[in-house]
Amino acid sequence: MTSSRPLATLALAAALAALAPAAARAQSRSGADQPGLRLGALLGIDRGDWDGIGLRLDAELDLQRLSPAVMFAGVGSLAYSHLSVDQPDFSQSLDLFEIVPAARFLLAINRQAGFYGDLGLGLYWVGVHTTDFARGLHSDDSDVGLAARIGGGGYVWASDQVRIDAEIAFHPHTGNYDDTSFTAMVGVMFRTRTR
């Protein structure tokens, strides 16, 4: 009887050692839905009266868990788009900068993937460069006004620290630049810390 106790202890220790890597992997997977701060960038197309490429830098901070599957977050965005329109005797290009804070609702469908929706209001600055080839004229102008972002997307956690995003959004503008543009973007978010 006494000789079976060391064997049972060794068997239990071996079983725990075998289960430890699986437990560590499960903890790493569950870390994807932990609250925290994420930083990232998105790149894509920007379409409206002028067309071009857009780049956006995001900082996303979880603020309140509304339910086990829904997180309310704040997002600060700095965006740049280079847009243009070309005619045979006329060319116009725009450099558009936007600073838009937004409310974001994230809906997790499982620990690795989910959807989100954005509603934001901020400011834009646009520089307009116009060339009239027929008359040999060139002019530059600029404007400042209100910019909004209404959009949504989906995400997948590639690892505990890296998230892949894809989204579409509409961007209404007020002022002299009153275009409502459409963006389709993909990007990567990196977790920087957890609470």
> Which of helix, strand or coil describes residue 116?
strand
Residue 72: the pLDDT is 97
User: Can you give the length of the chain in residues?
Assistant: 195
Say which CATH topology domain 34-194 has.
Porin (2.40.160)
Kindly tell me if the per-residue pLDDT of 194 is higher than 50: yes
Higher pLDDT: 89 or 2? It is 89
Residue 164: the pLDDT is 98
Residue 85: the pLDDT is 83
Domain ranges of the chain: 1-33, 34-194
- pLDDT above 90 coverage of the chain, percent: 62
Mean pLDDT of the chain: 84
Higher pLDDT: 35 or 184? It is 184
Contact 168, 27 (CB under 8 A): no
Lowest-pLDDT range, 87-101, 133-147, 152-166? 133-147
What is the rounded CA–CA span in Å between residue 151 and residue 157? 20
Residue 25: the pLDDT is 42
Q: Select from 85, 79, 101 the least CA-distant residue to 48.
A: 85
Residue 12: the pLDDT is 43
> Which of helix, strand or coil describes residue 48?
coil
The predicted model gives 64-76 an average pLDDT of 95
Kindly tell me if the per-residue pLDDT of 163 is higher than 70: yes
7 contact partners, CB below 8 Å, separation of at least 6: none
- In tens, the pLDDT along 93-112 reads 899 999 999 999 999 999 99
Residue 129: the pLDDT is 87
- In tens, the pLDDT along 17-57 reads 444 444 334 334 444 556 689 999 999 999 988 899 999 99
Burial 81-116 (b: 16+ CB within 10 A, else e): bebeeeeeeeebbbebebebebebebebeeeeebeb
Q: Which two tokens stand for residue 106?
A: 């994230």
Contact 92, 130 (CB under 8 A): yes
